[in-house]
Amino acid sequence: MDRSTPPLNSLFQELILEHYKRPRNKGELPDPDVSIHMKNPTCGDEVHLQMHVKDGVIANAMFVGEGCSISQASISMMTQLVKGKPVDEALGLAAQFTRMMHGDADAARDKRMGDLRSLAGVAKFPVRVKCALLGWNALEEGVGKTG
């Protein structure tokens, strides 16, 4: 093995920190169709997810929130992934992400998950799984109100 190549876990940690330090789609969304606030009472992480949903498609998604690098990176990656996707497809991704967070190796290899696959290691830390799922829970609850 080439010692100059950093371990894969290190690359994943860098990606998570990149999304935490420079989150994508962070800010208020004007006139959202969906606005959902969720808080993890165990650790204090919170997200406020706002979306425009038009004709069954998530046209735009933004968030504001505070919390650990895992919760904030997860929702940053999530908003990137679900923008422009039909609600049904976004819910399928949410289910796949949840499976990954519960240790499903096949879900962790699913290329449709994009950068979110960097969070697969969180499954080894059950107390942190809720952090990673916070934004996804907001998505599921929010789009459930659009139907």
Question: Can you list the domains of the chain with their CATH numbers?
Answer: 8-144 (3.90.1010.10)
- pLDDT per residue, tens digit, the chain (147 aa), is 444 444 546 667 888 889 999 999 999 999 999 999 999 988 899 999 999 999 999 999 999 999 999 999 999 999 999 999 999 999 999 999 999 999 999 999 999 999 999 999 999 999 899 999 999 999 999 998 665
Cβ atoms within 10 Å, residue 33: 17
Location of structure tokens 């876990």: 9
Taken in order 119, 80, 27, 22, the sign of the CA dihedral is: positive
Segment holding 13, helix H or strand E:
helix 8-21
pTM for the model stands at 0.89
